[in-house]
Amino acid sequence: MTAPLLDVRGLKVQFGGHTAAVRGASLSLRKGETHCLVGESGCGKSVTALAVMGLLARGARRQAEVLSFAGQDLRNLSEGRMSRLRGDRMAMIFQEPMTSLNPAYTVGSQMTEVLRRHRGTPRAQAVDRAAELLGRVGITAPGMRLGQFPHQLSGGLRQRVMIAMALMCEPELLVADEPTTALDVTVQAQILRLLAALQRELGLGILLITHDLGIVARIADRVSVMYAGEVVESAPTAQLFAAPRHPYTRGLLSCVPVPGKVRRDEPLGSIPGVVPRLPPGFQGCAFRDRCPHAAPACAGPVPRQPAGPEHEFLCTLPPDWVRRAEAA
Amino acid sequence: MTRFLLRRLAVALLVAMTVLTLSFMLTRLSGDLAISIAGPNATQEDVELIRRAYGLDRPLTVQYFDWIGRAVLGDFGTSYFFRERVSTLIGSRLPITLTLGLVGLGIALVVAIPLGIIAAVREGSWVDRAVMLVALVGQAMPSFWLGLLLMVVLGLQLQWLPISGTGSWEHFVMPGIVLAFSAIPALMRLTRSGMVEALASDYIRTARAKGLTRLSILAKHALRNAAIPVVSIAAVQLGFMLGGSIVIETVFALHGVGFLAWESISKNDFPVVQAVVLVLALIYIGLTLLADLLNAVLDPRLRA
């Protein structure tokens, strides 16, 4: 097995000492793999991504047992060294294409500065590269677009520009934080197809953050389900959909209508309650207040258990509990 | 861009016309001009003589259009007090006021923008609080008092700078500092709040995700967006400095337009008063137009 491109173990992020946004999250991503991080709003997905990129806001505290990218330990890297990695070998795109581009500069200026910063490429060559990438992400008349300002582009176009900009230096890792959430459904599909195609062609590792299980099913190789700052279950996509183990994962999947499985006379599933805000030092399973299978043991230490090849879940229930429950 | 320019120009022209009308009306509203020109000891015949001599016996509308017709050509008549063409009078005083205003604005920008940026970058820290305290003190301090203070310290005790007159560039330093002080707080606060807002924005997160240097993030990406309100206010401040430098010009014995305005108001020299108001207003309008254009350069969304 090859060494992971991105390896995160025991990641913790705290804001101001009273909220633990991420509480020991672990995930790893191989070169050329699409890894989806799913969960409800407020479960720490975006904070995890920002922590990996070293983009947390001031006042946030990051700790990790392991945080490495391409064999390089990121934990104690200075901001200067980190900024040399960002945009060059690891890139990120965001949920808000409308506001993520600087309104005062042209598309071309914002794209070329990445190459000029990391490679010192002369302007003319950088412009060529930008035009080439705009074409690659499916933007027609790239030459014209390069001279335009963000407010002259639609949301879908802006997200394409963001993707093209992220690819300027041929990164090995692309972190995409809900890149399609703010877009129309048709545009969403186009962007997802584009990401999948780019990944195949460029051997890009993608960490895709989403709350949309439909997206996961379509493009993920691996899925990590996050709840209240922890990865509660992680598995290859097919495995996760076929045999989810964590009650939270099962709850999430029951909320999604699947043709052929859903019946008209039965309501879709839902998980009552919301993701809690947990103080640092919280003990036990964070899902226990919303879990239909909660038991007294859930307040104690929760084991991380294997449930198949590369399939882990974080729960006090035994790995074969689903089968036992169905047999009973 | 052309449409934007034309629209701004049209607005500027309308405002200029309004000012022209207002400055005419204000002088006529302040009492019977013939009586005040003639003085307290004049007889009724003297007043009538003056009224005819200055054309004040004509209907107001005739006077108004006559005045506008001349004003458009740069002819503001003759000063009653100085016995000089008003245009020459203003022409000789304006460079002093303009120099003073530009020096003041220059000092203000050089001080306020870096301090505002530092305060924003260190938002909430003691540096931020110290800078805002200075802004508060600056806002609370009367300019004539600061002027006198500087004269005592820099002029009389240390003897670094001349305390009055307009002989050399050094004469403009102290009044420039005093003028700047009144503009610094607003400019600094705006720079700070603009930068705080810009730095919290999504495009700055993108700039960081691109691995840009700190300098590029601050100076290129944040400052450009934060500068837009600062430019507008700087133009207004310069307008204030030019029109409101009466106190400073008096304290430092600078014979600029502000001083001229004060003299002519106290002498009831209404052609001068009218012209000064008009010239300052036109400069103000020009500055606002300039600020609009600069903002359109800074923010492409404004060019529509």
User: How high is the pLDDT of residue B200?
Assistant: 92
CB contact under 8 A, B206 and A100: yes
What pLDDT is stored for residue B36 in this prediction? Answer: 75
Q: How far apart are CA A158 and CA A181, in angstroms?
A: 13
Q: What integer pLDDT is reported at residue A47 of this predicted model?
A: 93
Terminal CA-CA length for chain A: 39
ipTM over 0.95: no
Instruction: Give the per-residue pLDDT at A220.
Output: 92
Distance CA A280, CA B209 (A): 28
Tell me the percentage of chain A whose pLDDT exceeds 90: 53
Cβ–Cβ below 8 Å for B207 and A102: yes
Give CA angle at A121 (A127, A115), nearest 5°.
70
CB contact under 8 A, B300 and A104: yes
Any idea which residue has 């001080």 for tokens?
B111
Give the mutation candidate from A69, A94, A98, A102 for the B interface (greatest B CB count, under 10 A).
A102
Distance from CA of A228 to the nearest CA of B (A): 24
pLDDT, residue B275, reads 87
A151/B301 touch (CB, cutoff 8 Å), yes or no: yes
Residues of B contacting chain A (CB within 8 angstroms): 201-203, 205-214, 216, 220-221, 224-225, 298-301
* Cα dihedral B240, B243, B244, B247 sign: positive
With beta carbons less than 8 A apart as the criterion, state whether B217 and A114 touch. no
- Cα–Cα dist B24/B270, whole Å: 9
pLDDT at B225: 92
Q: How far apart are the CA of A172 and the nearest CA of chain B, in angstroms?
A: 14
Tell me how close the Cα of B143 comes to any Cα of chain A, in angstroms. 37
Mutate which of A100, A159, A167 to disrupt the B interface (most B C-beta within 10 Å)? A100
Note the pLDDT tens digit of each residue in A85-104.
Answer: 999 999 999 988 889 999 99
Does the beta-carbon distance from B210 to A114 stay under 8 Å? Answer: yes
Q: What is the pLDDT of residue A262?
A: 65
A223 forms beta bridges with A36, A235
- Are A103 and B203 a contacting pair at CB < 8 A? yes
Measured between CA atoms, how close is A204 to chain B, in angstroms?
17
Tell me the average pLDDT across A238-264.
83
Structure tokens at B296: 């359109």
Mean pLDDT confidence for B262-270: 83
Give the per-residue pLDDT at A2: 67
Residues in chain A whose beta carbon is closer than 8 A to a beta carbon of chain B?
A: 53, 55, 79, 82-88, 91-92, 94, 96, 99-105, 113-114, 117-118, 149, 151, 162, 165
Residues in chain A closer than 8 A to B209 (CB atoms): 53, 55, 86-87, 91-92, 94
Q: Is the pLDDT of residue A268 over 80?
A: no
- Pick A94's closest partner by Cβ from B206, B221, B224: B206
- For residue A86, give the nearest of B211, B298, B300 by CB distance: B211
Whose structure tokens read 């090849």?
A: A309
Q: Are A13 and A67 in contact (CB under 8 A)?
A: no
Each residue's pLDDT tens digit, B34-83: 777 777 777 888 888 888 887 788 888 888 888 888 888 888 888 878 88
Q: ∠ CA(B148), CA(B154), CA(B158), 5° rounding?
A: 135
Residue carrying the six token digits 């008003």: B86
Chain-chain contact of B212 with A99 (C-beta, under 8 angstroms):
no
pLDDT for A261:
66
Q: Do A102 and B206 touch (CB under 8 A)?
A: yes
CB contact under 8 A, A87 and B210: yes
- In chain B, what is the straight-line distance between the N-terminal and C-terminal CA atoms, in Å? 6
d(CA A292, CA B94): 83
CA distance A8 to chain B (A): 19
In the prediction, which pLDDT does B249 show?
A: 85
Q: Which of B201, B221, B298 sits opposite A99 (nearest CB)?
A: B201
Chain B residues closer than 8 Å to A85 by CB? 211
Per-residue exposure over A207-231, b if at least 16 CB sit within 10 Å of its own CB, e if not: bbbbbbbebbbebbbbbbbbbbbbb
User: Which residues, 6+ apart, have CB-to-CB distance to A285 below 8 Å?
Assistant: A291, A294, A298, A299, A302, A314, A315, A316
pLDDT at B221 (0 to 100)? 94
Q: Rounded to 5 degrees, what are φ and ψ at A6?
A: -130, 125
Asked whether A147 and A86 are in contact (CB, 8 A), the reply is no
Q: Residue B221 carries which DSSP code?
A: I
Q: Which residues of B touch A91 (CB under 8 A)?
A: 209-210
> Rounded CA gap, A28 and A8, in Å?
6
Q: Residue A147's pLDDT is what?
A: 94
Among A57-71, A264-278, B235-249, name the most confident range.
Answer: A57-71
Residues of chain B in contact with residue A102, where contact means CB-CB under 8 angstroms, are: 203, 206-207, 221, 224-225
CB pairs under 8 A between A and B: 77
Q: A86 and B206: CB-CB below 8 Å?
A: no
Q: Mean pLDDT for chain A? A: 89
Q: Which residue of A has its CA nearest to B123?
A: A58
- What is the nearest CA distance from B124 to chain A, expressed in angstroms? 11
Q: Which domains does chain A have, with CATH numbers?
A: 1-89+172-283 (3.40.50.300), 101-170 (no CATH)
Amino acid at B278: L
DSSP A239-261: HHHHS--SHHHHHHHHTS--TTT
B277, two tokens: 């108001």
Could you tell me the pLDDT band of residue B244, with boundaries at 50, 70 and 90?
A: low
Neighbours of A177 (CB within 10 A): 22
Residues of chain A contacting B210 with CB distance shorter than 8 Å: 86-87, 91, 113-114, 117, 165
Q: Would you call B208 and A86 a contact, using CB atoms and an 8 Å cutoff?
A: yes
Side-chain-facing half-sphere of A69: CA atoms under 13 Å: 25
Mean pLDDT confidence for B207-215: 94
Q: Say if residue A259's pLDDT is above 80.
A: no
- Tell me the pLDDT tens digit for each residue of B13-32: 899 888 888 888 877 776 77
Local confidence band at B248 (pLDDT 50, 70, 90 cut-offs) = confident
Distance to chain A for B91, nearest Cα, Å: 40
CB contact under 8 A, B210 and A101: no
HEC profile of B86-148: HHHHHHHHHHHHHHHHHHHHHHHHHHHHHHHHHHHHCCCCHHHHHHHHHHHHHHHCCHHHHHH
The answer to whether A99 contacts B202, with C-beta atoms less than 8 Å apart, is: yes
- The region of weakest confidence among A163-172, B32-41, B151-160, B233-242 is B32-41
Residue from A164, A90, A103, A86 nearest A130 by CA = A164
